[in-house]
C-alpha cells in the first residue's frame, strides 16, 4: 500500500497556483478516519472536519469513525443562532458576512497548512471566533480565512465551530447527574477541539506542543476562559486576546440554575420532564430561553441584586468543573502563569456604530463631553490630544473606546502580577478610509491585518498600499508570537514586555510607535479618577 506521504508527492509540482483536487490529493489520516482536502495556491485546505460529537446539553465525545476517505472540502455547519433577517446596509458592507448553514451537529474545524505528512513541526494557531458566547462562527467574516497567514508564516491555522447560546450554556445541573456537563458545554467543545489538535495535528504538519489560541471579541473571552480551565491546561502554550478582555467574572450557579428553572416554567414543564428539552425545536427552545433570561434578570433587579446593564445573557459559568475558579482567584491565575499573553484593542471599537456624533461640530463635541465629564471636559480634550496627536475631527474627541482598552490593561496587569510569562500590549489605531472614513478603527477592523487578509477584506480596509504595509507588520508580529512567545518583528520598533509600571503599548498605525501608557490621563479622567 502506498503511504500517504508518497501519495502527496505528485501534486507538489502542480500545486503552486490555482486549485488542485482529486481522488488521491491532500489525504490525511486522523483518529476517526482519512480526510481529503484540496490545495489552493500551494496551501492544503480542509474544511468541516468533525472533531467531536454531542447530544444536546451533553459533554462532547470523540466523533464516530468513518470508513474510506471523508471529503472535507466545504465548510461544515455553524451553531444555530437567531436568524439574520435584516442588516444595516452601511455597516453590513464592510463586514460582508457569511452566515453559513446551521445544524446543532456543528462540532467541526478547518485546517490550513503548507504541507502534510512531512514530519515537520510547524507552530499551530487556533482561531476562536467572535460573536460573544451567543452568535458567530468560524466562517462568519472573510478575515477569518487562514490561507494567507499559513502561507506567510509556515504555520498551521485551525478555526473552530462550537455550541453557543442556550445550546452551549444552559445550566440544567440541578436536574441530575445526566446534565452535569450542560453549564459550560460550549467551552467543553473548545477543549475537545484542542484535544483533537493534540492527537491529530502532526499529520497536518503541525506541532502539537506549540499551540497558540487566539480570538477577538467573544473569541478573546473564550481564550480567557480556556486560560482559567484546568482541563485545558497543557493543550496550548500561548494566548492572544484581541478586543476581548471583558470576561472578569463567570456567572454564579445561584443565578444560572434559576435560569434553568425559569426555562421549565416558560415551557410549562415539570422538573421531571426536563428530558423534553432535548426534543423540542431549537426555535422554541431559543425563544423560551430569552424569556427565562429576562424573567430572572427582572427578578434579580427587584431583589436589589446586581445585573449587567443589558440584563443576563448566555456565557461562561462557574460550574465547579470546567471553570472551578473566578479569574482573579490565585488558583485560576496559577493555571496560566507560564502562558505568554498578547493583548489589546482598537481605538474606536463600537463607537462608530453610533452615527449620531459622526458630523458634530467642535462646540457640540465640547457640549457632549461636558455632559459626561463636567468641569473635566477641557482636561479630557487635552488628554485626547496628548494620547492621539493627530486628532483633527470633532468626532475624534467623542468616539474613542473607553471600555475595551481599560479592560485590556486590567487583564494585562493581572497576568503580570500572577505569573512569570511575558505580556505584550497593543493598541490598533489605524483609520479605515472606506466610505468617507466612517468606520475608523472599529471593532473587527484589525482582523484583516492580523490574518494578512487585506485583499479579502477590501470593503473593510480599502485595499490600499498603507493597509498592506501595516498588515505585513502586524501579521509578522502575530506569527512571531505564535512561534516564540515574542511578537517583535521587522518593521516595528522594539516591543518590550508590558508591566503596569512601564505601560508599554505598541501603537499600530501607518507609523507604528511604542509608547508607555499613551492614554493614561485620558483613561483616568474617563474613569472618574
Whether residue 433 contacts residue 470, with contact meaning beta carbons closer than 8 Å, is answered with: no
pLDDT tens, per residue, the chain with 529 residues: 333 343 443 334 444 679 999 999 999 999 999 999 999 999 999 999 999 999 999 999 999 999 999 999 999 999 999 999 999 999 999 999 999 999 999 999 999 999 999 999 999 999 999 999 999 999 999 999 999 999 999 999 999 999 999 999 999 999 999 999 999 999 999 999 999 999 999 999 999 999 999 999 999 999 999 999 999 999 999 999 999 999 999 999 999 999 999 999 999 999 999 999 999 999 999 999 999 999 999 999 999 998 876 679 999 999 999 999 999 999 999 999 999 999 999 999 999 998 777 889 999 999 999 999 999 999 999 999 999 998 989 999 999 999 999 999 999 999 999 878 999 999 999 999 999 999 999 999 999 999 999 999 999 999 999 999 999 999 999 999 999 999 999 999 999 999 999 999 999 999 999 999 999 999 999 998 7
Report the predicted TM-score, pTM, of the whole model to 2 decimal places.
Answer: 0.95
The answer to whether 171 and 183 have CB atoms below 8 angstroms apart is yes
Q: How many other C-beta atoms are found inside a 10 Å radius of the C-beta of residue 459? A: 18
For 452, the grid coordinates are 494578512
Helix residue spans in 163-280 (DSSP H): 165-169, 185-200, 218-227, 253-266
**Contact between 97 and 140 (Cβ < 8 Å):** yes
Burial of 502-512, coded b for 16+ CB within 10 Å and e otherwise, reads: ebbbbbbbeeb
Q: Domain coordinates of the chain in residue numbers? A: 4-242, 251-318, 340-526
CA 377 to chain centre: 35
SS (H, E, C) 490-517: CCCCCCCCCCCCCCEEEEECCCCEEEEC
Residue positions annotated with a catalytic role: 217, 349, 443
Taking the domain 340-526, which CATH number applies?
Answer: 3.40.50.1820
- Could you tell me the end-to-end alpha-carbon distance of the chain, in angstroms, rounded to an integer? 72
Q: Please, what sign has the CA dihedral across residues 389, 391, 397, 399?
A: negative
Topology match between the domains 4-242 and 340-526: yes
- Is residue 101 packed enough to be buried (19+ CB in 10 Å), middle (13-18) or exposed (0-12)? exposed
- Residue 430 CB-half CA count within 13 A: 31
Is 119 buried (19+), middle (13-18) or exposed (0-12) by CB count in 10 A?
exposed
pLDDT of residue 528: 87
**3-class DSSP state of 331:** helix
Produce one character per residue of 41-59: b if its CB has 16 or more CB atoms within 10 Å, e if not: ebbbbbbbbbbbebebbbb
- Residue 197's alpha-carbon distances to 288, 465, 504, 518, in angstroms, are 35, 36, 34, 39
Compute the distance between CA of residue 51 and CA of residue 90 in angstroms, rounded to an integer: 37
Kindly provide the residue ranges of all beta strands, DSSP E only, lying in 320-373, ordered along the sequence: 341-346
Would you say how long the chain is, in residues?
Answer: 529
Alpha carbons 4 and 316: distance in angstroms, whole number: 41
Beta strand 423-428 with 238-242 is unpaired
Take residue 113 and report the three cell numbers written for it.
Answer: 497548512
**Rounded Cα distance, 38 and 27, in Å:** 9
C-alpha torsion angle, residues 215, 216, 218, 221 (rounded to 10): 60
Cα–Cα distance between 140 and 127 in angstroms, integer? Answer: 12
Of 507, 369, 346, nearest to 439 by C-alpha is: 346
Residue with cell 497543557: 234
C-alpha to C-alpha distance for 106 and 347, rounded to whole angstroms:
34
Question: Coil, helix or strand for 159?
Answer: strand
Which superfamily does CATH assign the domain made up of 4-242 to?
Alpha/Beta hydrolase fold, catalytic domain (3.40.50.1820)
Q: Grid cell 489605531 — which residue?
A: 429
Amino acid at each position: 500500500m502506498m503511504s500517504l506521504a508518497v501519495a502527496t508527492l505528485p501534486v507538489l509540482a502542480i500545486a503552486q497556483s490555482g486549485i488542485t483536487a482529486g481522488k488521491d490529493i491532500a489525504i490525511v489520516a486522523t483518529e476517526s478516519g482519512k480526510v481529503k482536502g484540496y490545495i489552493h495556491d500551494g496551501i492544503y485546505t480542509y474544511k468541516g472536519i468533525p472533531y467531536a460529537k454531542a447530544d444536546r446539553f451533553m459533554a462532547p465525545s470523540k466523533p464516530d469513525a468513518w470508513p474510506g476517505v471523508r471529503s472535507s472540502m466545504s465548510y461544515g455547519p455553524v451553531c444555530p443562532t437567531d436568524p439574520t433577517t435584516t442588516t444595516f446596509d452601511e455597516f453590513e458592507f464592510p463586514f460582508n458576512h457569511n452566515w453559513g448553514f446551521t445544524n446543532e451537529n456543528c462540532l467541526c474545524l478547518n485546517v490550513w497548512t503548507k504541507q502534510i505528512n512531512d514530519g515537520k513541526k510547524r507552530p499551530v494557531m487556533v482561531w476562536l471566533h467572535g460573536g460573544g458566547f451567543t452568535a458567530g462562527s468560524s466562517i462568519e467574516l472573510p478575515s477569518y480565512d487562514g490561507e494567507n497567514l499559513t502561507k506567510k508564516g509556515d504555520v498551521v491555522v485551525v478555526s473552530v465551530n462550537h455550541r453557543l447560546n442556550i445550546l452551549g450554556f444552559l445550566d440544567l445541573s440541578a436536574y441530575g447527574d445526566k446534565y452535569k456537563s450542560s453549564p459550560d458545554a460550549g467551552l467543553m467543545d473548545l477543549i475537545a477541539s484542542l484535544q483533537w489538535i493534540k492527537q491529530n495535528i502532526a499529520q497536518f504538519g503541525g506541532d502539537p506542543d506549540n499551540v497558540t489560541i487566539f480570538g477577538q471579541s467573544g473569541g478573546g473571552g473564550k481564550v480567557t476562559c480556556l486560560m482559567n480551565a484546568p482541563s485545558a491546561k497543557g493543550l496550548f502554550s500561548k494566548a492572544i486576546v484581541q478586543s476581548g478582555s471583558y470576561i472578569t467574572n463567570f456567572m454564579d450557579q445561584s443565578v444560572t440554575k434559576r435560569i434553568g428553572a425559569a426555562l421549565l416554567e416558560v415551557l410549562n414543564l415539570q422538573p421531571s420532564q426536563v428530558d423534553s428539552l432535548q426534543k423540542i425545536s431549537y426555535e422554541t427552545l431559543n425563544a423560551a430561553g430569552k424569556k427565562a433570561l429576562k424573567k430572572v434578570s427582572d427578578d434579580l433587579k427587584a431583589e436589589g441584586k446586581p445585573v449587567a446593564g443589558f440584563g443576563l445573557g448566555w456565557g461562561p459559568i462557574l460550574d465547579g468543573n470546567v471553570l472551578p475558579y473566578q479569574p482573579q482567584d490565585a488558583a485560576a491565575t496559577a493555571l496560566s502563569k507560564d502562558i505568554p499573553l498578547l493583548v489589546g484593542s482598537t481605538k474606536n471599537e463600537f463607537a462608530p456604530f453610533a452615527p449620531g456624533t459622526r458630523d458634530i461640530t467642535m462646540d457640540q463635541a465640547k457640549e457632549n463631553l461636558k455632559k459626561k465629564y463636567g468641569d473635566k471636559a477641557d482636561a479630557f480634550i487635552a488628554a485626547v490630544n496628548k494620547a492621539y496627536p493627530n486628532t483633527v475631527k470633532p468626532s475624534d474627541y467623542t468616539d474613542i473606546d473607553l471600555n475595551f482598552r481599560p479592560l485590556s490593561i486590567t487583564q494585562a496587569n493581572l497576568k503580570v502580577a500572577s505569573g512569570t510569562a511575558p505580556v505584550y500590549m497593543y493598541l490598533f489605531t489605524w483609520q479605515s478610509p472606506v466610505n468617507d472614513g466612517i468606520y475608523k478603527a472599529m471593532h473587527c477592523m484589525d482582523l484583516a491585518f492580523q490574518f494578512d487578509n487585506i485583499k479579502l477584506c477590501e470593503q473593510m480596509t480599502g485595499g490600499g498600499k498603507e493597509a498592506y504595509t501595516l498588515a505585513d507588520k502586524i501579521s509578522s508580529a502575530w506569527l512571531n508570537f505564535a512561534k516564540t512567545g515574542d511578537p517583535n518583528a521587522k518593521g516595528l520598533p522594539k516591543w518590550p514586555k508590558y508591566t503596569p509600571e512601564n505601560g508599554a503599548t505598541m501603537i499600530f498605525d501607518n507609523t507604528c510607535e511604542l509608547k508607555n501608557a499613551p492614554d493614561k490621563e485620558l483613561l483616568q479622567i474617563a474613569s472618574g479618577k
